[in-house]
Amino acid sequence: EGVGPQEYTLIKMKVLEFPGKLEALAPQEGKVFMLAATLRPETMYGQTNAWVLPDGDYGVYEGLNGEIYIISKHAARNLSYQDQTPEFGKPKCVLNVKGHDLMGVPLKSPLGERYDRIYVLPLLTVSLSKGTGVVTSVPSDSPDDYMGLSDLKKKAKLREKFNIKDEHVLPYEVVPVLTIPEFGDAAAEKVCAMLKIQSQNDKVKLEEAKKMTYLKGFTEGVMTVGKYAGQKVQDAKPLIKKELLESGDAIVYFE
């Protein structure tokens, strides 16, 4: 943890259907979003799913302009102090949900060109005290995301345990978004293979994989998709972030 506040970009992922406990929200279709906290908004082109913690406590909150946000309680409190709720300092929770209630919910994310519809899936290493407790999954560039997705693809039992249908997982493939001189496209996939990482629980090796890829992706990466293809990640990131904020597809968030 550094000193001073961390700035995240919250990506607004639109909820497309309202199964189970979310049924009460169906009349607000189009205004209901899950908010994912990311430091790398320029990787959104490669999103294949979103992660939540199955046993985590989440809430459905009133946002601005009649919008509804599904986030952790901790994030709701912080957002209410950052002028992102109708009443300052008073987040209004309209429904309590567990991560389990969100499994398999279909979403539409900004910038996702390859997949029009992605799903909420379980990741056991999601922290409820960081960001929104909702994470965008980009298996090309995040070793955690790559192992989380490949665990679900490999293990039918794991999908069954969390009520995840095959079609929520099996059709989704790594989508390269940037290239790094040392690793080429899809650095996370490559490094997970090089280090022979077995699962999302392989904490020590995953730390190593993250050290190998994150900084290089940002400092040496070149975008290969989207409007800024051919430009350095460092240059494209602030431009893509600005566009997402201006189009209303993202929110700045500090903690």
Q: Which of residues 40-69 bind ligand A2H (CB under 6 A)?
A: 40, 43
Q: Which is nearer to ligand A2H, 85 or 109 (CB)?
A: 109
CA 153 from centroid of its chain's CA atoms: 18
Angle at 48 between CA 45 and CA 51, to 5 degrees: 115
Residue with smaller CB distance to ligand A2H, 45 or 105: 45
- Which of these, 247, 226, 16, 12, lies nearest to 118 by C-alpha position? 16
Exposed / middle / buried, residue 92 (Cβ in 10 Å: 0-12, 13-18, 19+): middle
Tell the residue number behind the tokens 């995301």, with chain if given.
145
247 binds ligand A2H (CB under 6 A): no
Q: Is residue 133 at the binding interface for ligand A2H, with CB under 6 A as the rule?
A: yes
- Minimum distance from residue 75 beta carbon to ligand A2H (Å): 9
**Which residue's C-beta sits nearest to ligand A2H?**
131
Contact between 136 and ligand A2H per CB under 6 A: yes
Six-digit token string for 16: 């497309």
- Please count the residues of the chain: 255
Site size toward ligand A2H (CB under 6 A) is 19
Give the per-residue contact string, 203-222, with ligand A2H (x = CB under 6 A; - = no): -----------x--------
∠195-236-2 over CA atoms, to 5°? Answer: 60
Binding site for ligand A2H (CB under 6 A): 6, 37-40, 43, 126-127, 130-131, 133, 135-138, 141-142, 145, 214
